[in-house]
Every structure is written in structure tokens, then in C-alpha cells.
Amino acid sequence: MSKKKIFSNNKNLKPLLNKTTKPFLIYVLTILIISIPVYFIVIDTIWKGELDEHNKTIVEKTAYEFNHLKLSDADLRKSIALWKLIQPETNIEEIPFDNLKKDVYFTIQKQKPFAAEPEIERYRAMKKVVYLNSKPYLFTIETNIEESEETIAAITATTIFFFIMIVLGLLFLNRRLSLTVWKPFRNTLENLKSFNLNTQQTIEFEKTDIKEFEELHQSLNKLIEHNISAFKTQKEFTENASHELQTPLAILKNKVDLLLQNEDLTEKQYQIAEKMNLALARSFRINKNLLLLTKIDNSQFDNSEVIDFENLVKQSLRLLEEHFLQKDILVKKTISQTITLNGNSSLAEVLINNLLINAIRNTPPNGLISVKLTDSTFEVSNSGVEKLDSDLLFKRFSRLSKENNGSGLGLAIIKEICNFQNWTIDYKFENNNHIFFVKF
């Protein structure tokens, strides 16, 4: 179940290049959209400047030509009138004195002359004072500005075209970079996925000319070497502890057993020896469980076996049948057939036994224990009075009840086994029943 969840989560993940490409495309699109009015303003400003230069040249050339003809005042007036008829978008009028300090440029909108249908257009206009026959004249000229809608449409079309080119180019580069630039990184990930600390072998990473990947490889090599060294140390400690502690505990327990068989013991001495025997037995179990936890933490178990979970459950129920009978516990079994899982069969057997033993210890006499096994869950429930403390449930050496004489490590071992097997363990209290369920 957990592995499937991991795979489904991986499907929802996105490649790093996609994460960087999306904001980049949004940024480019925003800039291109902003650029459309900016382009229009810049082009319109440049075009107006060019028209102003054009209008000024026309005015100065016209004034020069009139002065060059050296016409009389009467002929000049006739020529100006004729000019205004020929050039309807210009106006030359005599003024009493020059009250225009500098040239005036402005934009106006008016209906286009000689158009079949009414159409409003923009014109760039200029007012300038010129001297004809040494007299001041106000020269007004208007020049049509190109259609702004056409300009905007052209700029927008060009912007959209280049944005599409950018998107297609980025998608193409993204695919190519994923196959080439990120190839060493993908190889590194594959090597890390296949790395097993139990083999105690370092990884030979692929050589690359990318600085960041080389730094990553160097850091990973140091980390792996450190972990291998720490793993060796922990493993040696585990093995040493297994031999150094188990042996004296076994000797002590054997001596106490011999002492208990001594007929010369007084009742008081026998009670003391019995308490010693119980303490040694508990110490023996704690030591054994601690060693198991250490091995699980150090990943010293093979996790690639095929587990016949159905057979393990039935086997554990048979072995614990005597304990059920001692407390007159009724066992209700609902076990699906042919349930096989991937993992470690020894740890699965420990998990099943610990759950059943925990249920036996916490079930009152004449109580009920229910065992359910499906293709996705394993559930053990037992009758009880009040809910257990969920915060302390899976902590090491936590005592859930005063009557419990266990080592305080059974549920902690179950939790660690589930983590190692990529399973999940949970607890709930319903209808006066303690329910522990493992999700595969």
C-alpha cells in the first residue's frame, strides 16, 4: 500500500526544468504583453517626430519658394489663395505681428476628406510664423498619421508570433536538456536508489564536466563513506552486544534456575531468587528486543522476500493457542487466502506475534480477540475498557497499564518493522475494543 502511494506521489511530481520553465514563460508573456503598448507609444512618438520634421521642412521650403519668386503683394495674395486650394490641409494667413514665440506642434482628429464613408483620422499639425515679402504670415500645416489600429494589430501579431516561437523553443530545449544535461544527475539518482548499506560498497559516480554535479558527487561520496563507517561501527557494536550481554545473562539465569531447585532454600530466600529470575528473564527479553531494534534501524534485514502472510498468521495463532486457553479468550478469525507480500518474513512473523501477544496481555479473562486479514490490511482487536494513550503507544519503554509486565518494546518494534517494510500501523478504540491495524 505504501509503495503504491509512493509511486502515485512520484507521478504527481514535476521535473525541475518544468518548475523553472513555467515561471519563465509567465514572465516572458507578461513582458511581451507590456511591450505591446510600449512599442506603440515609442513608434507613435518617433513617427510624430518624423512628421514634425517633415512639416517644418515643407513650411520652410514653401516660404523660400514664395520669397524666391519676388512677387508683388497682390500677386503673393493670389498665389497664396491658389496654394490653399491646391493644398487643402495647409493654411497661410497674414498676421499683423509675430506673437508666436516658437513653433507649435499638436495632434488633432477630424474627418478624412474625400472619403466615401465618414472616418475620423489623426493629423499631426504645426503652426509656424514665416516672413513673405518681409511680412509675417502664420503657416499651418496638417499631415495625416498612419492608422494606429493597424500599427497595434501588426505589433500584437508580431509579439504573439515571437511568444509562440519562445514557447516552442523552450519546450524543445527542455526536452533536449532533460536528455543530455541532466543525464549524469539521473544516473546518480539510479545509483543512489540501488545503493544498499548492507553491502558496504561505495558508488562510482559518472564523471561530468558540470561543476554542480561534480560537487554533488563529492559530497555524496563523503556522506556514503561516513555512513558506511558508522554502519560498520554500529554493526560491530550490535554483534558484540549480542555476544557479550546474552552470554552472561544466560549464565546468570541458569545459576538462578539451579538455585531455585535447591531444597535447602528458605521460603524468604526462594522468593528473592524467584524475583531475581523474573528480573533476569525481563532483562533477557529487553536485550533481545533492543538488539532487534538496532538491527532494524541499521537495515540489517533483507526486504525483498515473498511473504506468505496468511500462513504466518495461522502459524502464530497455533503457537499462542495455549495462552488463549489459559485466559479463556475467544478468538474470532477472518483470514483471506493466498495473501503474499514483499518484505522480510522474519520481521513479519515478529510483527504478528507482538500484536497477538499485546492483545492477549490487554484482554481480560473470558474476553474476545478478533483477527482479520485482507489483501490490504491486517487487523487485531481485543476487548477493553478505556482507550490507550496514543501519544505513548509506540514509544519505547512506555507502560500503557500497570498490569502489563512486558518489556515496553513490543509496540515500538511493530512500529519500526512497519517503517522498514513501508507499511503503516494505526490504533483506534471503538465499541470497547482496542483495534490495531496494519496497512500494506
Summarize pLDDT for 199-233 with one digit per residue, the tens: 667 788 888 888 888 888 888 888 888 888 887 78
User: Does 342 lie in the same domain as 271?
Assistant: no
**Domain membership of residue 416 as a residue range:** 305-439
Domain C-terminal end among 230, 263, 297: 297
Read off the pLDDT of residues 96-116 as tens digits, 9 standing for 90 and up: 887 777 899 999 888 776 666
Read off the pLDDT of residues 130-154 as tens digits, 9 standing for 90 and up: 999 989 999 999 988 866 667 777 8
Element at 35 (helix H, strand E)? helix 16-69
User: Does 173 lie in the same domain as 232?
Assistant: no
Q: How large a percentage of the chain has pLDDT more than 70? A: 88
> pTM of the entire structure?
0.48
Q: Rounded mean pLDDT of 169-191?
A: 80
Instruction: Please report whether residue 7 resides in a domain.
Output: no
User: Does 421 lie in the same domain as 323?
Assistant: yes
Q: What length is written for the chain?
A: 440
Instruction: Report which listed range, 52-66, 75-89, 170-184, 251-265, is most confident.
Output: 52-66
Instruction: Please report whether residue 4 resides in a domain.
Output: no
Domain C-terminal end among 263, 297, 331: 297
Domain C-terminal end among 230, 262, 297: 297
2 pLDDT above the threshold of 50: no
User: Does 244 lie in the same domain as 176?
Assistant: no
User: Does 431 lie in the same domain as 345?
Assistant: yes
Say if CB 90 and CB 84 are below 8 A apart: yes
Question: Parallel, antiparallel, or unpaired for β 368-373 and 330-335?
Answer: parallel
Give me the residue label for grid cell 554483534.
239
- Calpha distance 316→329 (Å, rounded): 15
- pLDDT band for position 398 (cuts 50, 70, 90): low
The type of residue at 9 is: N
Confidence at residue 129, expressed as pLDDT on a 0 to 100 scale: 92
Instruction: Please report whether residue 190 resides in a domain.
Output: no
- Is residue 320 helix, strand or coil? coil
Give me the half-sphere count of Cα atoms (radius 13 Å) on the Cβ side of residue 232: 8
User: Does 127 lie in the same domain as 25?
Assistant: yes
Read off the pLDDT of residues 39-81 as tens digits, 9 standing for 90 and up: 878 888 888 888 999 999 999 999 999 999 888 989 988 998 8
User: Does 282 lie in the same domain as 313?
Assistant: no
- pLDDT band for position 7 (cuts 50, 70, 90): very low
Q: Rounded mean pLDDT of 186-190?
A: 84
- Calpha distance 421→295 (Å, rounded): 14
Q: How many other C-beta atoms are found inside a 10 Å radius of the C-beta of residue 164?
A: 10
Lowest-pLDDT choice from 130-144, 175-189, 425-439: 175-189
Q: Is 347 exposed, middle or buried (0-12, 13-18, 19+ CB in 10 A)?
A: buried
User: Does 400 lie in the same domain as 361?
Assistant: yes
Instruction: Please report whether residue 22 resides in a domain.
Output: yes
